[in-house]
Amino acid sequence: MSINFQKPPELVSLEQKLKDFPTFVADYIHHKRQETTLQTAISYLYDLSTFFDWMGYTGLFTGSKSEVPYSLLEKMPVKQAMEYKAFLKDIEYIKNTKTEEKAKYKETTINRKLTAVKDLFNYLCNIAETDNLEPLMTRNVMAKIKLIDLKVEIDKLADNIASKILWESEFDEFIDFIRYDYIHRLNGKTKEVNFHNKNCERDVALISLILDSGLRAFEVVGLNLSDISFHNNKISVLGKGNKAASVPFGDVAKRDLQEYLSVRTNKYKVDPGYEPVFLSSGTGPKGEPSRLTKRQLQNIVEKYAKAFGKPNISVHKLRHSYATAYHEKNNDIAKLSKQLRHADPKTTMIYHHVNDDQRVAAAKRVRG
């Protein structure tokens, strides 16, 4: 029996991008794929791209990015490594390609980009080997570069979350806006109206699922049909660190998922057994449907959030929204931590402070 194996579009795209990088980076990314998800590996390559682009920008290497030798990384002075960290703090990037709006990286983004480079250097020093079974590199300058200290008072973090989430009372309002009201914002533009009519059930199901489970963006777009059990309202996912988990979801998401799946075959012209759950229409007359990407999911959420009047809402903020609503209803940090699959339960404590009306009221009563 022959097996018709077809690579996922994301994997094909990743392999194509790796051709622009040195071989040792491709080896590192393939190694990374063994311990994490495809989406995470793609994110690591994206963050490494900033580092290699910086090397060209500053003249540290004037050839093609794919020709950078690992010996150049091994001999990089501490001063230059520190200059890269400073570069990340000062550089502006294009936040919106349509308006050319620029912004600076947040400290969390800087740390993420530094972590990717530090992880690459660690791989080259402690995992990768030469043909003689010697470490590929013997010096790790990035081990001397510290991440930015992000110690912030938990109340400040909670206040920041509270200003950028949907409250539980807004969940249905937001979903109904997508389902019924958004189309009226398109002013009868045929192309946009047709696009919305085709994807409305998908978009509702996407957002409803996050608001009813707290799934991460890469977990949502990575879902396959075989991962969903409508019998017991659970979804099988590979979370951070490639850890398998069974995540419960609510009946509202169940209804919206089933509604989407009932039209998915006809609207996206796929076989009923085609595994990727959330699909993107192919571009052009011969475009084939494919798995929705993380970037596309983010664009979908941001589009509706802006029209809804909550432009700060992102996919991750929807996860925060779910967690806040869960804590308000159940007041059980241990169960919430398990639902969100936090490695450290202390991380979940932030949601105990997001809705702080009761604590404020108690403080006012001290001298009342």
Buried b / exposed e over 337-352, threshold 16 CB at 10 Å, is bebbbbeeeeebbbbb
Catalytic residue of the set 33, 234, 240, 310: 240
Q: For the sheet containing 234-238, what is the strand order? A: 228-229, 234-238, 244-248
Are 293 and 222 contacting, i.e. CB atoms less than 8 angstroms apart? no
- Cα→Cα distances 273→81, 139, 201, 204, 281, Å: 50, 50, 19, 21, 17
Give long-range contacts, CB 8 A cutoff, 24+ apart: 281-285: 281/198, 281/199
Rounded to whole angstroms, what are the CA distances from 147 to 76, 88, 113, 114, 368? Answer: 18, 12, 10, 7, 46
Integer Cα distance of 109 and 161 in angstroms = 17
Residue 20 is classified by DSSP as: T
Give residues with Cβ within 8 angstroms of 341, minimum separation 6: 239, 240, 243, 245, 247
Give the up-direction half-sphere exposure of residue 271: CA atoms within 13 A in the CB hemisphere. Answer: 3
280: helix, strand or coil? strand
- d(CA 140, CA 65) in angstroms, rounded, equals 20
> DSSP for 216-260?
-HHHHHT-BGGGEETTTTEEEEE-GGG-EEEEE--HHHHHHHHHH
**274 catalytic per annotation:** no
33 is catalytic: no
Known active-site residue 319: yes
Q: Which residues contact 303 (CB under 8 A, 6 or more apart)?
A: none
The Cα–Cα gap between 4 and 126 comes to 38
3-state secondary structure of 104: strand
Q: Which of 202, 322, 351, 353 is catalytic?
A: 351
Active-site residue, selected from the candidate residues 316, 338, 341, 352: 316
Roughly how many angstroms between the first and final C-alpha of the chain, as a whole number?
A: 80
Given the residues 104, 112, 196, 342, select the one marked as catalytic: 342
* Annotation says 185 is catalytic: no
How far is the C-alpha of 82 from the C-alpha of 143, rounded, in Å? 11
- Which residue in 216, 291, 294, 353 is the catalytic one? 216
Q: Which of 113, 319, 320, 327 is catalytic?
A: 319
Active site residues: 216, 240, 316, 319, 342, 351
